[in-house]
Structure 1
């Protein structure tokens, strides 16, 4: 029998044709997982047919780890993973070439679109570019992305696409990386500067819709709306009760904003209609069209009834809200995060929610998307959304139009509407 460590955390046992992995990672979402390893995509598909009853997902590519896999649960509740490591450029049958040229025209510069976006943006891009788009219902694997960027003049990508020096060196003709997001922590800005590649984003257009989602989470988490609805749908409601699903008031309370940028201001502005006291912590004082008090970080934590996070992800904000900070908050406090999952220490937040250190949380972002720890999934006092802060028809269309205009401007030698560098 052979033993070895895979990726430093998964102990692999091999005997004959059987390969079995046990994950000893300290990450909640993978700790204790039993992984069965296979030698081909077909083997994983065949195993799925056998174990479909206990599966929790269908077989799919995970481009972050370049694997083809599915998840399941055994009768004891243990997490099972059935997995095959993809070879360079390999994809499941029917998805060998996820890149499709939407408007063949060799006279135009080439643009790689890593996922399909609203049609208005694609139409705009097609006027200027020959658009090479990933038409699969999944993200590109790392190998696919590196291969597809090779002869492209422009790249329109998502926040989930890692755009680093390695990719830029593959895309020797790249003039612009246009991010379909307001954030750009997926892009190595220093590498882009060194290679004279412009980087653009989509600020402003998603401000109001993201603020709407933040307020949806405020109301849902403070007033226990999802819990109450499940209770009702399960047929447990037998009539009005004096102590049924008591939540926290929102009106007249103190709203704390961490990061008073565009979205933070939009969230705070909505709070004026609830008669709330507004406090905020930001790097610099802001000129605001509503009343709000600039406070230090500790005061923000201690006095907020609802704390809403709107800071960008930087080395300084990574893990900013940890066990120490959560312990400073009121036991009745509600934590809202529509910014970036990594700003909060997820394990510390789970412990705080379990132990009653804070009342509840409303989350649209997570530390390791799309993976969400089982412990978090099982908590009733957390409301979770699948990163849909900007997911309205109009906003996503506006984002697409701005991202397209950014890419077009750069290749035409003009100043783009929203340039990062």
Structure 2
């Protein structure tokens, strides 16, 4: 029997997530069943769409719910084609012997570069000017140069370190806070969170999203920032109290904000921050570049190949509980090239 895999991505999402040659590579490993709808599927609807498939390749917006796993007796693996697995019920998958995997993070450069772009946008008012209906009548405000300004990075992982490299090259001072022990360089000063907030001209949130960091930025943190400072969120919406941020913007407690993530659909910023003079909003595009797309797509192909070979792929989350994997070794036909 040849392996069958259901790809949850809508036609538009598929083009953004997988280059054509990667789709072809997946097709050599399995018979692909595509989502022809325009909506995100979940629960029983997803289970029905994937009926007869041993693998689901899931877009980042598609949740892996217990209500899917409970009625998908043929399902062997739920493969996230992104890094975030927070919307996957891993305990439920494990209970049913279903493997959960995620793609490797290949977007450090992409997210860091977006961070620089958003700093420049806030500093020079690029989006504000471009939204103006009459540019000739719009008053011109003095902008800021990044050189000599202080960048505060909250969450000093791979993306934070890359952002620091670029900022230092631009002549910025960089300070960082991370709740866990991390490597810093002599050029980056490690401070506690209040210390970072107190002196930074730009505060960029890159902290990991978990129960410990939920609500990390609230009223007290925005009050601790300089009135001339800007806040940028490139991590996850749950790290920010949206009411507190909206109030800080309304009362000019901070100069402005840029948000690539939020509490909206697909982790996008909510509408309350759109069309503000002191806010820049992008629709969760931090990792959406051709280079990052290829990196993750090729990783998904490699993980699929390992599954077909009877191996647990490198992105496995719950390998010891994936008892259904034996079915692939017993029943699935391997392509000749494997």
TM range (shorter): 0.7 to 0.9
Deviations 1:138-197 (A, max 9, x none): 323544213123432111112211112222222223332221212211112222333333
Runs of 4+ in 1 over 4 A off after TM superposition: 370-374
- In the alignment, structure 2 segments of 5+ residues that lack a partner are 319-338
Aligned to 1:304: 200
For the pair 1:293 / 2:189, whether they are aligned, the reply is yes
CA distance in 2, matches of 1:146, 1:415: 23
For the pair 1:274 / 2:175, whether they are aligned, the reply is no
Aligned to 1:390: 287
Report the count of equivalent residues: 310
Shift of 1:302: 2.0
Aligned to 1:361: 257
- Equivalent residues in 2 for 1:7-406 (5 A)? 107-115=1-9, 116=14, 117-118=17-18, 119-140=20-41, 142-231=43-132, 234-236=134-136, 244-288=140-184, 291-369=187-265, 373-406=270-303
Q: Looking at CA atoms only, which structure, 1 or 2, has the larger radius of gyration?
A: 1
Residues 43, 67 of structure 2: 8 Å contact kept? no
Give the 3-state SS of the residue equivalent to 1:308 in structure 2: strand
CA distance in 2, matches of 1:319, 1:135: 37
Inter-CA distance 316–409: structure 2 relative to 1 (3 Å threshold): same
Inter-CA distance 194–209: structure 2 relative to 1 (3 Å threshold): same
Shift of 1:408: 3.0
CA distance in 1, matches of 2:92, 2:6: 19
Give the 3-state SS of the residue equivalent to 2:231 in structure 1: strand
Shift of 1:357: 0.9
Worse-superposed segment, 346-355 or 249-258:
249-258
Higher relative contact order (CA 8 A, sep 6+): 2
Give the 3-state SS of the residue equivalent to 2:152 in structure 1: strand
Inter-CA distance 142–189: structure 2 relative to 1 (3 Å threshold): closer
Shift of 1:306: 0.9
CA distance in 1, matches of 2:288, 2:197: 29
Residues 253, 305 of structure 1: 8 Å contact kept? yes
Deviations 1:359-404 (A, max 9, x none): 1111111112267544322311111111111222222122222123
RMSD: 2.2
Higher helix share: 2
Shift of 1:110: 1.4
Residues 248, 332 of structure 1: 8 Å contact kept? no
Give the 3-state SS of the residue equivalent to 1:236 in structure 2: helix
Inter-CA distance 294–405: structure 2 relative to 1 (3 Å threshold): same
TM-score (norm 2): 0.84
TM-score (norm 1): 0.68
- In the alignment, structure 1 segments of 5+ residues that lack a partner are 1-106
Aligned to 1:16: none
Deviations 1:181-226 (A, max 9, x none): 1221111222233333332222331111111112111111122111
Inter-CA distance 137–393: structure 2 relative to 1 (3 Å threshold): farther
CA distance in 1, matches of 2:308, 2:211: 32
Aligned to 2:323: none
Residues 112, 133 of structure 1: 8 Å contact kept? yes
